[in-house]
Structure 1
Amino acid sequence: MLYRPFENRLNVHLAEHQLYRAQWTILYYLANKGPATLVEVSQYMGVEKPTVTRTMSRLEELGYVEHVPGKDKREKRMQLSVVGKQVYTDVRVTIDQFEQEILEGITEQEQIEMIRIMENIRNNITK
């Protein structure tokens, strides 16, 4: 009951920046974790590598991500480009405003407790 309305509203905000949820998730991951392989990103997102490969290719076409030389030539590490970092910063402002809207009336302590509970649920699901 929460997931679909959240996704729909989030997609409206991301559309303002011509992005989709999967693209934003990758930009977010690279901005916060640094350069990563496609396997690392796919594990984070909980999707198959070919799905990430297609999305990453599109982000590369847009100039938002770029290859990073790795230790192994077979390893495909990606990072945010200069343009990608700016896009991330711009979208982050929109997302922060959205988060403030949806968390209105919920105290910081309640938010911390909710995060703890959600982490426990996630851990129980992925056992």
Structure 2
Amino acid sequence: MELAKHDLYRAQWSVLHYLWNYGTATLVELADYQSVEKPTVTRTISRLEELGYVEHIPGKDKREKRMQLTDLGRKVYGVVRVTIDEYEQEILKGISEEEQLEVIRIMGDIRNNIRE
């Protein structure tokens, strides 16, 4: 996929995307967002820390590991976002905005059904 051009996996991109939109997050919040177990997110975060894309920030609770994007992480997010946007435009060519919104609604319903 397009992420491979940037040496990123989907789980890593998902973390970068979440942190870009929400600023900071705990590992538990990221695990909930990705619908995975905390150890899975821990491995993803460790790799993103090694790459210099995310960093731990001190919180009130020492047991809570809160993460945020580094300057490099924000820069990488911007570059990858352009690639993703171009890819999305290409694959959605000829599909009306109304049809796209309907698909998003349906996929949301399916996701909710799975979680029940």
TM-score (norm 2): 0.96
Amino acid at match of 1:107: S
Of 91, 99, 102, the residue aligned with 1:102 is: 91
Of 11, 16, 23, the residue aligned with 1:34 is: 23
Match of residue 43 from structure 2: 54
RMSD (Å) for aligned C-alpha atoms: 0.8
Q: Report how many residues are paired.
A: 116
Q: Distance in 2 between matches of 1:82 and 1:117?
A: 36
- Could you tell me which runs of 5 or more consecutive residues in structure 1 were left unpaired when the two chains were aligned: 1-9
Deviation at 1:40, TM superposition (A): 0.5
Residues 1:82 and 2:71 aligned together? yes
Deviation at 1:71, TM superposition (A): 1.3
Q: Which aligned runs of 4 or more in structure 1 are off by greater than 4 angstroms? A: none
User: 1:58-102, CA deviations, whole angstroms, 9 ceiling, x for partnerless residues?
Assistant: 100111001111110111000000000000000000000111111
User: 1:35-68, CA deviations, whole angstroms, 9 ceiling, x for partnerless residues?
Assistant: 0000110111111111110110010011100111
Residues 1:118 and 2:107 aligned together? yes
Of 6, 11, 14, the residue aligned with 1:22 is: 11
Q: Distance in 1 between matches of 2:112 and 2:15?
A: 22
Give me the identity figure in percent.
70
Match of residue 67 from structure 1: 56
TM-score (norm 1): 0.88
